Amino acid sequence: MAARAEFLERIRREVAKTPGLFGASTAPRPSDPAAGAEAIRRELAERWPEALERFRQEFERVAGVFHRVRDLDAVPDAIADIARERGIRSLVTWDPAVLGFDAAAALSGRGLSVIAARAGEEHEVGRRRHRADAAAAQLGVTGADLVLAETGTLILLSGAGRPRSTSLLPDVHVAVFGRDRLLENLEQVGVMLEALHVDPDRAMSGAMINFITGPSRTADIELTLTRGVHGPKEVHAIFVEAA
């Protein structure tokens, strides 16, 4: 505590030498983030088709693969196709209760091994088993909590039944989302993030938010663009029309 007090006192002394130096201000913040978020949702209820098209373009520009299906029942088929084309046999998914569909039930009969993370299994054995499953899986299925059109970005909140590694350790990541997740620009993301943090303990069950913009990439060897250096080599987004 002494270190903290001393540390801050030193900064306070320096800061005191600067009053009036600058008239600068920080970014304007929504006065009522929840209402701001609600307003954005209302606007997007009209404009989502344009946002979706922009998302598709930007997502493909960052090497994402875009799919579109009619309803949640069609999602397992789309996932099975992605797996079959790549010779993939082992999948991990977020908790079906979070996703809104049960890929395991639909796909297990087709020669695919599907392991779903379950909320409520956070005991030591559950953790160890989950990590081994995630590390061995070739494809991971998640939802997307926000989908940013301007940059082709999927935004995922971690939490109960939503492991961080499902979108990270497997070679292929598939995210499934509906129209109500779409946002047009980063400014709207700012409002949403403010709204999430008004009462974060209720809004989020996890400690991490990931913005995912295309597959993992590097250009560290002679500036040659290479995909899948640590994270997924491919990212797929499945848009569900009736979700």
Partner 1 sequence: MSEELLRTPFPERAGAALQDAFLQEALTIATTKFIDLRKEAFAGFPAGEALRDRARAIKEATLQHLDVHLERLADNVERLGGTVHWAATGEEAREIVLRLCRDRGVRMAVKSKSMATEEIDLNEALEHAGVTPVETDLGEYIIQLAHEKPSHIIAPAIHKTKGQVAELFSRELRGQFPADPEVLTGVARKALREKFLQADMGITGANFAVADTGTVVLVTNEGNGRMVTSLPRIHVALMGIEKVIPSMSDLVVFLAILARSATGQKLSSYTTLVRGPRRAGELEGPEEFHLILLDNGRARQIASTLREALYCLRCGACLNVCPVYRQIGGHAYGYTYPGPIGILLTAMLKGNRSVRELAHASSLCGACKDVCPVRIDIPRMLIELREHLDREKIAPWTERVVFRAFRRLLLSPTAFRLSARAGRLLQRPFVRQGRLRGLPLLFGRWTRTRDLPPVAARTFRERWKELR
CA distances (Å), origin 195, targets 24, 30, 150, 203? 25, 9, 20, 9
- The distance of closest approach from Cβ of residue 181 to partner 1 in the complex, given in angstroms and rounded to an integer, is 17
| Residue 197 C-beta: closest distance to partner 1, Å | 5
Residue 167 CA from chain centroid, whole number: 8
Cβ neighbours for 190, distance < 8 A, ≥ 6 positions apart? 27
Would you say the C-alpha torsion 102, 145, 72, 109 has a positive or negative sign? negative
Q: Which is nearer to partner 1, 45 or 186 (CB)?
A: 186
Residue 196 Cβ vs partner 1, minimum distance, rounded to whole Å = 8
Which amino acid makes up residue 185? N
Buried b (16+ CB within 10 A) or exposed e, 83-117: beeeebeebbbbbbebbebbbbebbeeeebbbbbb
Cβ neighbours for 187, distance < 8 A, ≥ 6 positions apart? none
How far apart are CB 52 and partner 1 at their closest, in Å? 17
Which residue, 109 or 230, has its beta carbon nearer to partner 1?
230
Residue 240 Cβ, how far from partner 1 at the closest point, in Å? 24
Closest CB to partner 1 among 113 and 158? 158
CB 93 within 8 A of CB 172: no
CB nearer to partner 1: pick between 18 and 42 = 18
State the minimum distance, in angstroms, from the CB of residue 211 to partner 1. 4
Cβ-based nearer residue to partner 1, 29 or 70: 29
The tokens 């998914």 sit on which residue?
93
Q: Which is nearer to partner 1, 153 or 243 (CB)?
A: 153
CB of 85 to partner 1, least distance (A): 21
Cα separation, 61 vs 67, whole angstroms: 15
Helix (H) or strand (E) holding 188: helix 186-196
CB nearer to partner 1: pick between 69 and 142: 142
Distance CA 111, CA 109 (A): 6
